[in-house]
Each structure stands twice: as structure tokens, then as C-alpha cells.
Chains A and B, each alone.
Chain A
Amino acid sequence: MAKTTRRLFLAAAGTLAAPGLIRAQGTQPIRIGEINSYTTLPAFTIPYRNGWQLRVEQINAAGGVLGRPLEVIWRDDAGRPQDAVRLAGELLDAERVDLLAGTFFSHIGLAVSDFALQRRRLFVAAEPLTDALVWEKGNRYTFRLRPSTYMQAAMLVEEAAKLPARRWVTVAPNYEYGQSAVKWFKQLLSARRPDVEFVAEQWPALGRIDAGATVTALAQARPDAIYNVTFGADLTNFVRQGNTRGLFERRTVVSLLTGEPEYLDPLGDETPEGWIVTGYPWDQVNTPEHAAFRSAYQQRFNDYPRLGSVVGYDTITAIAEAIKRAGSLDTERLVEAMRGLPFQSPFGRCIFRAIDHQSTLGAFVGKTALRGGRGTMVDWRYADGANYLPPDDEVRRMRPQTT
């Protein structure tokens, strides 16, 4: 039976058919409703979709969960929170899914999370980074997989504090993610190094950086070090202007997410060397778990995994483990099972913390380097997410404790 399901699923996934429902004969599949910004951010969400597809196929080939195959019914939210909320309703009411998962943008993650609270259904947020999702706006029904803005900033602060640099400048996209990333970095670094000062900041609009002017304005402040949060098209633009205008010479740059292949690869042969970054050196992590994941992924998609692929893969792993642990699909029991749930990621063992529903999935911290005209990470280490979260009483203060 599982085999039939798998073949059906493969057929559908292979042709990338319309997001319809694929029903197995006989055994009713466990239905996961998944929402993401597939058309808005295809560069990130398609590797992510590959990741969860791979995991669903693996689990179903091994006999499914509780003897039932998994089935993911996915929807494109077009990058709009209002549509994501409607689709979440559609998945619950019309498609009768057992739980919700997915989302990339923070505001969409928050909208679905609040909807999940209202409807009292489980929501496993995959990619959104905002801290609010588990802290200020955290709720009983929402769990988040990816290491948050705070965690990634904390990982970089650890390295930044070791630098002799005192005069810092920051550049970040002008929205919540950029603001939080800068706020935490400043706060945590100042706590460790009271002697540092932040002498200038730049807030380019997302996707519309005026790179030449931004670079000159930063250089004008004569900093020792730069903290960068821009990514994507803005980052390329910033790096190229910075390279030509010499902004990065004799200065250390600490940069959030830049080591993720999604952001590093487009820099090509202009990848600056020696930036301290968080990321994912997919070609160098050779732990047995990761090697197995990588070869399965490459075999299945004829492409290398991105960070999103790991997130998609782990989302399904975590959901499957939770269902196993709960032994049922009842939401309240699933929520109890998710709290403190251990699961095996290609990055290593993680848990979903009971205190704030954040997973301890970590990231790799290292330096950028150029190898054969491509950017890569060197001197990296895995930073376990569990070590980069605030003390428990601080978490309790930030997170509403009624739920």
C-alpha cells in the first residue's frame, strides 16, 4: 500500500502538478497543510519544497507514520498574509488537514500563528525568523524550526566580541528582520564589550539599496568593523560597490546569513574573503547524517541542497516524530508531544524547547573564502542553537505565560 502511495506521490511531484490531493487507496493518509511563498520567493522556497518532498517520500517508503502514509497539501500564499490566513482556513475546513506547517516571511508566519491559536490547531512554522513568533506573540499552538534572528545574531556576537574592533557601523534592510537583527547585535555585543560604540547605521529599503551612497556613508564614519544584515540582490550590490570603493579593506565584516548557499552563491568571484558569517557549508559537512541527506537529495533532484532544503526536510521529520510520540492526530496531544520533542536533523540532534516552542536547530559559523571562483565557508563550526538562547527567566518574561 505504501508503495502505491509513493508512486502516486512521485508522479505528482515529478510533474509538479497543480496542488491537488493525492489519495491513497485504502489507508487514509495523514494530511499536512503547507503554505509558503512559492511564487514570491522561488529561489528559497523551491529548494525548501524539494526538502520536504524528499522527506515525505523517505518516510512513506519506510511505511509511513502510525501505519499511515504522509500527504502534504501545499498552497502558494502569493506573499500576502491575508491570503495565507484564508488558505489556512481552506486547508483546515475544506481539505481537512490534520495540522498546518510552512511559511517564510515573518509577518505571514505571525498571521498563520495567530489563526492557529484562534482555531486551536497545531502550526509548525518552518522558516520565519522573527523572535516575536515564539516570544512576544508566542502561543500554545505554534512551534518554530529555524534558528531565529536572536540566535543567529548571538552566534555572531560571540565571534565579534573577540575582535579588537571598537567602532562599529551597521547596515540592515529597513524592516522588522533588519531592525531586530541590529537591535540584538548591539545589545548583546555592548553587554560583552562595554568599550564598543556604534557610530553609524544605514537602513536601505529592501530590494532597493542605493549601494554606492550607502557604502560612502558607512566609510565616512571610519569604522573598525561592519555588521551587515542585507541579503539577496541588495547584498550583491553592496558587496560590489564595497569592493570597488575599498570599504572592506582593513576592516572586519560580520554578516548575518551570508554563508547560506542561497545568498553566497550569487556573489560568485566577488565573494569577499574573511567575513565572519552564519551559514551552511553543504559541501563540507561530512557527518553521517548530513552525508546521507546530501546524497539522497542530490540523487533525487540532481542539485545540491540549500539551507531551505534542510529546513523543509526537518519540518517533516519533526512533524512525523511528533505524531509518533503523540500516537494520535488530536491537536492537544500533538502539542504536548511537540513540547520537548527530540528529532534528528542532518545537522545533528535537536529538540523543540518546551519553554518557548523554539527548536534548537543551529547554524554554522565560519569565514567566507574564495575557492575556484566561488564563495565558500572555511574555519567553520556548528553552533548548536541550544547555546544561543537567552536565560529561561528572560524568555518567560518575554513570552505570554497564559498559554
Chain B
Amino acid sequence: MDFLLVQFLTGLANASALFLIASGLTVIFGVTRVVNFAHGSFYMLGAYLAWTIVRALWEWGGREPWLFVSGLLLAALAVGAIGALVEMILLRRIYRAPELFQLLATFGVVLIVQDVTLALWGPEDLPLPRPRWLRAFVEVAGERFPLYDLILIFVGPVVLGLLWLLFQRTRFGILVRAATQDREMVAALGVDQRALFTGVFFLGSALAGLGGAIVLPSQNANLQMDLAIIAEAFVVVVVGGMGSVPGAFLASLLIAEVQAFGIVLVPKATLVLVFLVMAAVLMVRPYGLLGRPQAHARAPTGSVAPVIRAAPGVLKIAGAIALALAAAAPLYAGPYALTVLIELVVFILFAASLHLLMGPGGVVSFGHAAYFGLGAYGAALGVRFLAVPMEAGLVLAPLLAGLFGVVFGWFVVRLSGVYLAMLTLAFAQIVWAAAFQWVELTGGDNGILGVWPSPWARDKALFLWLALVLCLGATLLLRRAIYAPFGYALRAARDSELRAEAIGLDAARLRLVAFVLAAVAAGIAGGVYAYAKGSVFPTYISIPKSVDALLMVLLGGVQTVSGPIVGAVAFHGLFLTLLQWVEWWRAALGLAIVALVLAFPEGIAGFVQRRWEARFGAAS
């Protein structure tokens, strides 16, 4: 009984830190609709800045509680200012871009912040020595309970109360709530959106910074903090209901308590626990605990997505030339170039499969790597347990991916928007955890080795041709599906579900078919990739892999059919070059992404298409 009480209180303390981060994220999303990947970076900056500020105050009595707390608050304000700055220089310029495009920019910020932090603070973990009062404890039911954890328990509710006052009693707060409900209407009433958005970013980032600062007495400031927290923060926001601050509070309590007791009951489930909770909540309450269905978002520029037309002749010729050049590569390129080309071809299919969902399907998946990884594991498990040759492995790959596509898709297509995206993420994390933890089956994080091609395809040139046939063949089939009646129906369901259903289209079923098609295609890509690399690891299913796919599609342009191809080539090419030749490649890649985002707000292919049509008119 005493133990349960202490464990419960520990959960409450953890919930506070989680709530600070999640509340910032949810406020930003609610108003600006920006899926802010950089939120974890603000959290990390909060910890580092707090470390610097408190250390600087050390000489003047920084150990004393009031100065210590002031140091943490100062760090939070500084992070708020950085957040506002990011909004003003970067995000403000791209609000009119297609939804989710900002995600790309915030991801660029993540990369830049990682390298800047490394450059400023160095590689080693930075511990903040705890003053005596922070090491104190109180007796709770005969057990020691840290005084600081006790203080933390109250921080969450206090911040919740302050936010409530801010939102209910101030003009700023009222505008924020209004904008959360209907931001076009708020704009129409003459409210300065720019100031409002900047203010919201300041508030949200400061909360993240405070979250980072208050964990400093219990853990080091370190360079892995940003990515360690971001997925969990998204989970809390989604479970609570996007944009709902009380929801975030409730969800952080739920998640923290589930974790505190979960590790006692099932110690090995630490990797999936939160994602299982999220999947369960979303299946029962599709909009989170306290969320409301998103008001039918009006398209930001008052226009629907452009109609997809057949490619102009020039593009077909250019594509044919590129294909011929790729196929002839063994004649003029070295073995390394062929390796890169094989990877490119795989990623083109991977991006194209996600594009089918995101573009024509209007289904944004944050967990598309699951199907890529399932494909790779399908092949690898075939090799490991059945010793099947490559030919059979390449059949198993799309089968396994497609099977899971059916199961997961059945749940996923019932949701929409960011909730849908987060459910795909939850499923992907569950698959990842299975690959990571089911050691007997998958070899755990050590992966499955020895997945090499059949002898006839060992030659690089032959494998390249095989990859070209399979991956580009599948890509062209996906393209064909977009132009087929199925593609038209899918787009109709995306643009207006009501009207589509009125003429007899089953929107959910159309999306499910698209989901399975995309899973199968990603599975093929994963299978080919497995044989190209010779080994399969859980990293193929991890969040960064899903983000890669998103980046490729967004960079290329969601609303053009050639977008994913251009995006895959641009992104992978950029990554390869920078990784190999630039020491600070993360900052360089981040800057490149940000520059591309600012230069091509419709994606690269979208930009080219617009210029082309402006010049030559739309093909009919």
C-alpha cells in the first residue's frame, strides 16, 4: 500500500514535466496548426540554457532556492524568445504552403539546433550539481520521497491554473482560443495574426524550455534529449486532444501513471507502453480524451488541390532519358555509384508509396517506415527461418507488409488529420518495438544478417537492373493507379467526403485500398533494400525512417505526381553528399532543408510545374 502511494506520487511528479512540454506543443498546434518537430529541441535548449545560467549565478548564491528558480525561469524566457524568433524568420513565411509543409521546416530546425548545441556546449553530458536543498527528502508512508519531486507535483497544476487564467481572463488568451476554433474568422475580424502567432510560439516554446529546465536537477543536459522527448510529447498531445490544454494535463497524468505502474507489472514493456495507450485511446475516442473534431478546415488559400493532369510530353521524355541513363550506369559508373543508385531507386518507390496516401489519398502517415521495415523483415525472416532464396524473399516482403497494411489500415482510415497520422505512428512504434524486443524471432536490435542476393544477382549491375524493374515498375504502377478511375475516386473522397459518398463512393474503403497498396509498395522497397544491404535492423522501422519518407514527399511536392521522385532524389542526394563531405552535416542539411522550404513552398516539383504552366499553360 505504501509502495503504491509512493509510486503514484512519483508518477505525478513525472506528469508535471511531461505536461509542461505537451501543453506548449498543444497550444502551438491548436492555433497555428504547425506540427512542431522542433519542440523537443526547445526542451533541450531549455536544459542547456538553464545549466549555463544557473552555473553563472553560482558565485552569487545561485544555490539558494529563489535564485535557482529564477535561473530556470530565465532559461524558459530565453527559449521562448528563440521560439518566437524561429516563427518570425521562418515559419511566418510558409503558413500559406500546404498543410504539414511546416513540419519540414521545423525538422530543419531540429537538425540545426543539434549541431549548434554540440558546437556551443560540447559533446559531453552536462550535470548540474544539486544544491543541498535539492537533495532533501520527506518521509511519505515510511518511504523517502524527494522534496524536489514533491515540488514538481505542484508545478503542473500551478502552470495549468496560470494557463487557464491567461486563456480566460486576458485578451491574448481569448484570441488564442478563438483562433484555435476558427482562425480564418479571427483574421476576418481584423486581429493581427502575425502578432498572435508569434505570441503563441513564444508561449509554447517557453513552456518547452521550462520543461527542459526543471528536469535538470534530476538528469544531465545531453544531446539526445530532443528526440527522446518529442515522440512522447506528441503522444500526450494526441491522447489529450490536439489543442486542448486540460486534455494535455489529463493525458500526461494518464501516461505518467501508466508508466510508473507499468514498469512494475511488465518491466520489459517500457518501449511500447505509451504507444499502446495511445492506440487504445484513439480507437475508442478518435479525437483524444478532451479533443473535439477539427472544424472543417477551409483550404488556406481558398482553393482545392490542383487537378492532376497527364504529364506533358517533355516530362515523359526526360523520365525516359533518366531511366535509360540509370539502366546504362554499369557501363560508365563505378561500383559505389551503383550502390547509391540502387538506394535511390528504392527510396523513390518508398516515397512514391507514401505519396499515394498523402497526395491523392489525403491520408498523412507518420509511420510509413513500418511497411518498409515489414518488407525488409519479411525477406529477412524468410532467409532466417525458411532459408528461402531471394526470389521468394522478394515475394514475402510485400506480402507481410500488405498483411499488416490491411490490419492497421482498417483502424487508421476511420480517423482523419493529425489523429490519423498519430495512429499510424503508434502502429509503427508497436511494430518497431516487436522487431526490437522479440529477440528469438527478429534478433532484436542486433538484427538479421546474411540477407544477400541469390548468386545470379550478386553482380552489382544485375542487382541494379533488378531494383530498377521492381521499384520503378511499382512506382509506375502507382502512378497508373492515380490516373485510373480509382485515383479519381480517391481524390474525390479527399476533396469532399460528403459529396463523394453522395454519388456512391465508399470513402473509407477507397482509403483502405490506397493504404494497402501503399503498404505493399513500401514492402517491395523494403525487400529490395534488405538484399542490397545484406542485413535488416529495427532502425528500418524507426521514427527517423518515417520522417525521411515524409521529407522526401514534402520536398518534392505533395500535389504533383512526380513530386516523390524528385523529392527522393533531392533529399537522398543532399544527405549523402553532406554526410560524406561536411563534418557539421546536420546543420548543413537543416539549412538546406530550410532554404528549400523557403524557396519552393509547393515543393520542388510543384514549383517547376507552376512555372511551367505559367509559361506554357496547363496541359489538357
Binding site for B on A (CB under 8 A): 16-20, 39, 42-43, 46, 75-76, 78, 80-83, 85-87, 89-90, 93-94, 106-107, 110-111, 113-115, 118, 130, 132, 137, 174-176, 179, 200-205, 207-208, 210-214, 216-217, 219-220, 232-233, 236-237, 240-241, 243-246, 265-270
Contacts and interface: CB of A to CB of B under 8 A. Distances in A.
B23 interface: no
A382 B144 CA distance: 38
Nearest to A119: B534
Contact of A111 (B217, B447, B581): B447
Contacts of A208: 228, 232, 270
19 contacts: A39-B114, A39-B115, A43-B125, A81-B447, A106-B446, A107-B447, A114-B534, A175-B436, A176-B445, A179-B439, A201-B267, A208-B270, A236-B125, A237-B219, A244-B136, A244-B137, A244-B146, A266-B127, A270-B127
Contacts of A118: 452, 534
B113 to A, nearest CB: 13
Contacts of B126: 266
Contacts of A240: 130, 217-219
Interface in B126-148: 126-127, 129-130, 135-137, 143-146, 148
Given A213-B260, A233-B220, A220 B3 contact: yes
A259 to B, nearest CB: 16
Contact of A90 (B260, B267, B339): B339
Interface in B380-394: none
B40 to A, nearest CB: 12
A216 B447 contact: no
A270 B437 CA distance: 33
Most buried by A among B114, B218, B436: B218
Nearest to B137: A244
Contacts of A179: 439, 444
Interface of B: 3, 6-7, 10-11, 13-14, 114-115, 118, 123-127, 129-130, 135-137, 143-146, 148-149, 217-220, 222-225, 228, 232, 259-260, 263-264, 267-268, 270-271, 334-336, 339-340, 343, 436-437, 439, 444-447, 449-450, 452, 529, 533-535, 537, 539-540, 579-583, 585-586
B334 A93 contact: yes
A111 B445 contact: no
Given A46-B123, A106-B445, A268-B127, A212 B13 contact: yes
Contact of A214 (B125, B127, B263, B579): B263
Given A132-B446, A236-B220, A268-B127, A78 B579 contact: yes
A86 B268 CA distance: 33
B336 A90 contact: yes
A125 to B, nearest CB: 13
B260 A210 contact: yes
Given A216-B3, A267-B127, A107 B270 contact: no
Contacts of A174: 268, 270-271, 437
A19 B580 contact: yes
Contact of B535 (A81, A203, A219): A81
A111 B533 contact: yes
A94 to B, nearest CB: 4
A268 B129 contact: yes
A399 B508 CA distance: 52
Contacts of B335: 89, 93
A244 B135 contact: yes
Nearest to A75: B580
A94 B452 contact: no
Contact of A76 (B130, B264, B334, B585): B585
Nearest to A113: B449
Contacts of A113: 449
Contact of A176 (B222, B268, B439): B439
Given A76-B579, A270-B129, 4 more contacts: A81-B537, A114-B535, A213-B264, A233-B220
Given A174-B271, A216-B7, A244-B146, A80 B539 contact: yes
B586 A39 contact: yes
A106 B271 CA distance: 19
Contacts of B537: 81-82, 107, 111
Contacts of A114: 449-450, 534-535
A75 B228 CA distance: 25
Nearest to B339: A89
A202 to B, nearest CB: 5
A137 B579 CA distance: 29
Contacts of B270: 174, 203-205, 208, 210
A176 B127 CA distance: 27
A17 B268 CA distance: 44
A210 B263 contact: yes
Nearest to B273: A205
Contact of B585 (A16, A39, A233): A39
B538 to A, nearest CB: 8
Contacts of A20: 581
Contacts of B143: 216, 219, 245
